[in-house]
Structure 1
Amino acid sequence: MKNREDWKEVVKKRQNKMEAWRLSFLSVEELLCLQLLGYSSKQLYENVESERYSLKETASMSIRELDKAKRILDRQTKAGVITIPYNDEAYPHHFRNLCRDAPLLIHVLGNKDLLNREDNVAIIGARAADKEGLNMAYEFAEQMGKQGHIVISGLALGCDTAAHQGCLDAGGQTIAVVASGLDITHPKVNKSLQDEIIAKGGTILSEHPFGVKANPTRLVARCRMQVVLTQSVIVAQCPIISGTMYAVRFAQEYNGVPFGWENNVYSVQYDTQNELNSGNKFLLDYNLALPIRLGQEITLDLDNKIVIA
């Protein structure tokens, strides 16, 4: 009962925060202007209740940045990109569970409706994966695609590319969460894959506007957006020191009663151990993930959790 009451209190606080956002009357242009001025999402999220009028005044007085924000948004609109603010009804409910870590603006190319789907799985792994690791990502994504479920990954080389392609080849839809503005494909060689994702009803998603390039900090930050969209994460293959391990950490952090759901992490179990799958072994040895093997059939149950046949 205590956990249920705690959850009710958390929900009430979020509702109050949402109401504060609606009353702030900060437009998309003003929010982007403030971000261009250096305000972080955390700062704006925390201060909107107490400083909403001063924030609005700051944006209106920052003529150069406000004009730049309008130009960026105009370019994005012409390119088919939809920008959704935190206080919009179309904003993915999954991201609101991030609270102060939620992106204030998201930029979407393609099918925005996928972002509120519950039947999805994140399949992630290392860029420098070997053939076995790529097969793992491809096969599990292919199974999800055939069943009509959504596969989430990060458009990176290696396991991410294999996961997106496996889902697409099965006739499924996939979401790519990226760490740059949507006018930039990172890496460039995946431009054709990005186009295929869009053409087949998928989604490219970023918290960054046009003109922003990917860097290590942004690549790590996008991991939280990947895992919060799903309740099931499959680690196909990764070294013990890798970006994938950040995603696992986020999946553990955004978990339990305060966030309204439970994340399950699955790690592929390999018969032969090497550096490329040392992260998988670590996760299994320390009970940080559940084992899954190549050749196993997977599906989602009524709670959208993975079931291994």
Structure 2
Amino acid sequence: MSGYSAKELEKINNAEVLKKENERNGIYYCTRDDANYPQSLRGIKNSPALIYYRGNIKIANDYKSIAVIGSRKCSEYGKQLSYETSKYLTQKGINIVNGLALGCDTFALRGALDNNGRCMVWMPCGLDNIQPKNNRNLADEIIAKGGCLLSEYPVGTEIKKYNYVERDRLQSGISQGVIVIEADRNSGTMHTADFAVSQYKRLACYYHRLLENATGNKYLEDSADAKVIRQLSNLEEFANDILHEGQYEQLSLCLQ
């Protein structure tokens, strides 16, 4: 197995030792050499050597994905926008990605699941420890409806503060685009937005004046890194750009 560091090989070997035990609990893993490994992660900095998953990881390569994220302490309109945004993207066949957090993330996942959508959720810990506990039923529903739970951490890994930031790079990394619904400037949501920029992912946010707790949105607007969504046509344009992205790349290659 080439292209892996000694530390990465150790992680893979440990995963193999526990493979049968994990699989009895519905937890599998894939490495960067496997066909199931998400293609969108291969090109990012510090892509994980292996990914643990529960559910259908194939959707990462079969469909386009957008991370729909925001603060835990969001306004009522933020909750509504989260739900309706995911509903709209789901109807266009796009996977919804986030971290299962309360607030915007939860309502985004709900908007997808209520409308026959597919979701991918990244955990900052082992997949035997779904967090937050209040969303464990939601996690089960994601799997039951054709989605998946993902983690770079082995079973038994507890949550540490830095795990959230490491996880945030994967939310944007596995996605073709990121939409910030509502976020304060100092919220964890901004880590994912920052990673989206450094990973050259498409980034959008809702216009800050539409929401109550959106100093993060205002920052993204002022920094000129984010497409500002003021109305449905802006969301439609953002989604269509992502859906057609591969076609444009292929055309460019043909013209060279």
Letter in 1 for 2:91: K
Task: Identify which of 173, 181, 185 aligns with 2:130.
Answer: 185
Q: Residue 118 of structure 2 aligns to which amino acid in structure 1?
A: Q
Q: Kindly indicate whether the alpha-carbon contact (under 8 Å) linking 1:118 and 1:230 is maintained by their aligned counterparts in 2.
A: no
CA contact (8 A) 2:98 2:121 kept: yes
Cα 1:235/1:244, change in 2 over 3 Å: same
Letter of the 2:139 partner, please give it. Answer: Q
Mapped to 2, the partners of 1:144 and 1:273 lie a distance apart of: 20
Distance 1:93 1:273, change over 3 A: closer
* % identical aligned pairs: 32
Q: Note if contact 1:266-1:292 (Cα within 8 Å) is conserved in structure 2.
A: yes
Counterpart of 1:92 (choices 25, 35, 38) is 38
Instruction: Check the 8 A contact 2:40/2:176 in 1, yes or no.
Output: no
Paired residues of 1:72 and 1:210 also in contact (CA < 8 A): no
Question: Residue in 2 aligned with 1:31?
Answer: 11
Structure 2 spans left out of the alignment, 5+ residues: 248-256
Q: CA separation in 2, counterparts of 1:225 and 1:272?
A: 28
CA distance in 1, matches of 2:199, 2:219: 20
Q: Conserved in 1, the CA contact under 8 Å of 2:182 and 2:211?
A: no
* Residue 91 to residue 70, structure 1, CA distance change in 2 (3 Å): closer
**SS of residue paired to 1:83:** strand
Q: Does 1:123 align with 2:68?
A: yes
Following superposition, the deviation at residue 197 of structure 1 comes to 0.3
Is 2:139 the partner of 1:194? yes
Q: CA deviation at 1:295?
A: 4.8
Alignment gaps of 5+ in structure 1? 1-18, 34-65, 256-262
Say if 2:149 is the partner of 1:204: yes
**Correspondence list, 1:131-280, <5 A:** 131-255=76-200, 263-271=201-209, 274=212, 276-280=213-217
- Counterpart selection for 2:244 from 271, 294, 302: 302
* Partner Cα separation in structure 1 for residue 54 and residue 229 of structure 2: 32
What is the alpha-carbon distance in structure 2 between the residues aligned to residue 165 and residue 224 of structure 1?
23
- Please say if residues 136 and 294 of structure 1, whose CA atoms lie closer than 8 Å, have aligned partners that are also in contact: no
Note if contact 2:72-2:103 (Cα within 8 Å) is conserved in structure 1: yes
**Quick one: higher RCO (CA 8 Å, sep 6+), 1 or 2?**
2
Moved over 6 A (4+): none
**Scaled by the length of structure 1, what TM-score is found?**
0.72
Question: Structure 2 length normalisation: TM-score?
Answer: 0.86
What RMSD, in angstroms, separates the aligned Cα atoms of the two structures? 2.4
Give per-residue Cα distances to partners, 1:235-279, cap 9 Å, x unaligned: 000000011111111111112xxxxxxx211110133564x2111
CA contact (8 A) 1:110 1:202 kept: yes
